[in-house]
Structure 1
């Protein structure tokens, strides 16, 4: 049976941890290289499951729907502000006007919704990365390792 020196264990742990993250893992309880590999693999799996979250979807669709509703309501309000003229206009023309305004604002809403969706995805990705690192470090520390950046 092979005996690995503490320096050798540090080297093995460092190499393993480089694959997982940019951290140095030092065994504090004389763990074997096989145990280090099993522990880092288990902690990596734990961290991966802790950092998964539902994807952000539907931003453009939601934005378009809100924009369309706002456009139609806005068109009706503008029409009501000019009651004398608006009342004399044919109902089909009023409907076309409301639909055109709804289309214009739906397009703008889709752009805004897409932008918000991208911002939420970036924030979620950053949060997921920090959650992963924290879960990985906590798991290894709980198994008797010193983890340093």
Structure 2
């Protein structure tokens, strides 16, 4: 084999290796950035912030609540999700659900957060739930979310506490 051919092959191999390493570094930066974004949003929420969903979700998010209860389903768009899944609960609460503890993992463009939340319903009874949300992130916003939670306490609040007049 000619020396120039060997040099071209070695150069091509190094270029591929460099491109792979650069891609891996870039992917790691995206992953770390997504994890930081979700972590900071939860920290802000836990400190009393009220814009978690508008800050974190893309306008056309697809939010899926897994399970078999009446509240399980697929919600397309942040406005639909908030109107059909968030508002029915929060309008029945005397205090907002507050994240109490959390663990966050990131893998590629996915961020997984497991958290415990608590609030008080308007009838004075406590609301506690455990959640695991899987976000697929794109440019700092969640474009798809799969949510796992115990639907029994969620649906119980919806059954037990009447909706306020003019609210879902």
| Structure with greater strand percent | 2
TM-based fold match above 0.5: no
| Structure with greater helix percent | 1
Larger Rg: 1
Q: For CA contacts below 8 A with separation 6 or more, give which structure has more relative contact order.
A: 1
TM-score, with structure 1 as normaliser = 0.30
